[in-house]
Amino acid sequence: MYARSRYSPGWGLSWQLWRRHRWGFLADIAWLAALALAANLWPESWRWPRFGQNLELGGLAVFIHLIAAFSYGFEVDLTANKRSGFPTSMFTLPLTTRTLVAWPIELGAAAMTVVWLVIALGISHPCGIEAPLAFPAVVAVAVLMAIQAVSWAPFEFGWARVAVALPTVLAVLFSPLLATLVGFPERLIPVVYLALLPGLFLAAVAGVARARRGDAFDWRWHRAVVQLAARLLPERRRPFASAAQAQLWFECRRHAGLLPLFVAMLLIPIAMILFLGSDRRGDWAKALSILGIALALPVFLAAVVSAGLGKHDFSATKSALPAFLATRPIRAGEFVAAKFKMAAVGTLVTWILTLMLPAAWLLAPGHFETFSKAFAQWARDVSPGKLAAGVALAVVFLPAFTWKKLVDGMFIGLSGRNWVVTANAIVMGSFLCAAIPVGLVLEWLPEYRPLAWRLLPWLVGAAILAKSLAAVFILRALWQSKLVAHRSLQKYLAVWCLVTIALAGSLVAIAPTGSVSVWAALAGAVLLVPLNRLTAAPLALNWDRHR
C-alpha cells in the first residue's frame, strides 16, 4: 500500500502551466496594474474622448495571451498534420481524458473571469464606463473553450484547423443573434452562452480522446483533393540552366506563394464585408475606405512576413542555415538575389489577386457608372497629364513599395540568429508602441501639430544622415568581402540613383504645383528607395553561413 500523495493531479497540471508561462503571466499582471493605475490616477484634463475604451482595449490584449497560454498554443505546432494541439507528452499520464481536459479549461475560465473583473472594476468603472460584471466574463470563457476545443481536436490536415477556428469563434460569439431570431428574450442572453459551455467542454474532451487514441479527423474526400492538387502542380522535369536558376526555383517553390496566401485569406472576409455590408448604394465613403484597406493590405502584410521570408524556410523554428543549403557552391550574393527575385514574383501574384477585389466591385451592377461620374467630377480640376502620370505612378509605386517592404526585413531572417529576429520584433514593437501615442496625440490635440511640422525636417535630415553613414560602412564591407560581384554592386548603385531621381521627379511633377519642393521630394525618395537593408543581406547570410 502506498501512501496517498498530498498533491492531486490538478496541482501538477496547474503548476506546469504556471511554470511554463510565469513570465507571461507576471507581465500580464504588471500590464493590468499599469492600466488600472492609469485609469485611476490619470488627470482628468489630459484624458481624450475614448480614454476608457482604449484602456479597456489594452486590457483585452491580456485575454489573447491567456487564450493562447491555456490552450497550450505555445507548446505545439498548430498547423502540424494529423496532430492534436494538446501536448502529446501528457497523454501517457495516468489521468482520464476528462481530467486532463478539465483542468486547463477550469484554470483558463477562472483566469479569464478574474482578469475581466479586474478590468471591469479597476479600469472601466473608474473611467465612468458601466461595464457589466458577469456577462462579458461568460462570453470570454465561451470563446476560450471554443478555441481550446478547436485547437485540441486532431485534424488530418493542419491548416484545416486554422480554417475552422475563425468560423467557430464567430459562431460562438454570434449565437445569441440566432437565439433572438428564434424569439429568445434579450435579458437571458448570458444564459445562451452558459448553455454553450457544456457542449464545448464535451467537444474538447471528444477531440482530445480521439487524439489520445491516435485517430484524427480525416476526411477521405479532402485527402483525395489534396493529392489531386499535388499531382496537378507542375513538377520540375527539365534540368536547370544555372545554379542561380535552381536557387530561384527553390525559393519560389517554398516562399513565393506565402504573401499571396496571407493576403487572400484576409481579402475574403474583407470582400464579404464589402459586398454584403454596404448594400446601400450611397455608402461610397465606407466602400472606398474598405477598398483602401484592401489595397493597403499587401504592403502591411509584406512588412509582417518579411523577416520570416529571410529565413531559409519560413516555417522553420531555427533560423540557422542548415548544412545542406550552407554547403551549396553558390555565392552569397546570388543566394540573396534569388530571394529578391522570388519576392518580386510573390508581389506580382499578390497584386493581381488584390486588384481583383476593386475590379469585382466595379463590375457590380451600377457601380461603374456612379464611380466614373464621381471620378470625373473629382478629376475636373486636375490636368489630364498629371492625372495619367499619377495613375501610372500609383500602378508602379504600389507593387514596388510592396516589394520593398517584403525584402526590407529579409536581412533579419538571413542572419540566422534567433536573437536577432527577436530583437527586431522588440524594436518594431516598441517603435509601434511609441508611434501610436504620438499619432493619437497629434490627432486629438491639434495644438501640437505645428511643433511636429517644425521638427519634421530635422528628423528627416537625421534619418538621411544615418542612412548615408550606414551605407558607407555596409558598402565598404560588401566590396571587400567579394560576396557580390563588383559589377553587380556597381549596377545596383547606378539603378538606385536612377530610381531615386525618377521618384523625386515624378513626385514633383504630379503634386499640385508648388506644394512639394524639390528638396523635400528628393529627401523623401532617398529615404524610400531601399539601399542598406538590401546590401546588408549578403553580409547577414555570410555571417550565418560561416559561424
Partner 1 sequence: MIAQNLENSESVIEIERVTRAFGKKMALGEISLSVPRGVVFGLVGANGAGKTTLIRHVLGLLKAQQGSVRVFGRDPVADPVGVLSRVGCLSEENDLPGWMRVGELMRYTQAFYPGWDETYAEELRRAFALDPSVRVKHLSKGQRARAGLLIALAYRPELLVLDEPSSGLDPIVRRDILGAIVRTIADEGRTVLFSSHLLDEVERVSDHVAMLDQGRLAFAGAMDDIKQTHHRLTLVFAEARREPPALQGVLAWEGAGRQWTALVSGRLAELRVAAIGQGAQVVDERPPSLDEIFVAQVGAIRTTAEEVS
Footprint of partner 1 (CB under 8 A): 235-243, 245-246, 249-250, 253-254, 313, 322-324, 326-331, 545-547
Minimum distance from residue 247 beta carbon to partner 1 (Å): 8
Minimum distance from residue 328 beta carbon to partner 1 (Å): 6
Rank residues 404 and 545 by Cβ distance to partner 1 and give the closer one: 545
Q: Which residues contact 251 (CB under 8 A, 6 or more apart)?
A: 338, 339, 341, 342
Rank residues 327 and 430 by Cβ distance to partner 1 and give the closer one: 327
Rank residues 64 and 230 by Cβ distance to partner 1 and give the closer one: 230
Rank residues 187 and 237 by Cβ distance to partner 1 and give the closer one: 237
Rank residues 232 and 363 by Cβ distance to partner 1 and give the closer one: 232
Minimum distance from residue 466 beta carbon to partner 1 (Å): 30
Minimum distance from residue 418 beta carbon to partner 1 (Å): 16
Minimum distance from residue 238 beta carbon to partner 1 (Å): 8
Angle at 64 between CA 69 and CA 25, to 5 degrees: 50
Q: Exposed (0-12), middle (13-18) or buried (19+): which is 47, by Cβ within 10 Å?
A: middle
Rank residues 241 and 363 by Cβ distance to partner 1 and give the closer one: 241
Rank residues 21 and 255 by Cβ distance to partner 1 and give the closer one: 255
The SS3 assignment for 281 reads coil
* Beta carbons of 148 and 105 less than 8 angstroms apart: yes
Q: In DSSP terms, which residues pair with 155 in a beta bridge?
A: 217
The SS3 assignment for 217 reads strand
141-163 b/e with 16+ CB inside 10 Å = b?
bbbbbbbbbbbbbbbbbbebbee
Rank residues 117 and 330 by Cβ distance to partner 1 and give the closer one: 330
Rank residues 6 and 236 by Cβ distance to partner 1 and give the closer one: 236
The SS3 assignment for 136 reads helix
Angle at 393 between CA 392 and CA 395, to 5 degrees: 65
Minimum distance from residue 543 beta carbon to partner 1 (Å): 10
| Side-chain half-sphere CA neighbours of 169 within 13 A | 14
| Side-chain half-sphere CA neighbours of 258 within 13 A | 24
Rank residues 235 and 381 by Cβ distance to partner 1 and give the closer one: 235
C-alpha distances out from residue 241 to 238, 246, 249, 256, Å: 9, 8, 11, 20
Rank residues 237 and 487 by Cβ distance to partner 1 and give the closer one: 237
Task: Phi first, then psi: give them for residue 361, nearest 5 degrees.
Answer: -65, -40
C-alpha distances out from residue 508 to 393, 501, 518, 521, Å: 12, 11, 6, 6
Of 25, 197, 205, 202, which Cα lies nearest the Cα of 109? 197
Q: How many CB atoms lie within 10 A of CB 503?
A: 21
Minimum distance from residue 326 beta carbon to partner 1 (Å): 6
Minimum distance from residue 416 beta carbon to partner 1 (Å): 11
Of 154, 159, 158, 162, which Cα lies nearest the Cα of 81? 158
Of 350, 179, 192, which Cα lies nearest the Cα of 261? 350
Minimum distance from residue 476 beta carbon to partner 1 (Å): 17
Minimum distance from residue 322 beta carbon to partner 1 (Å): 4
CA distance 411 to 308: 10
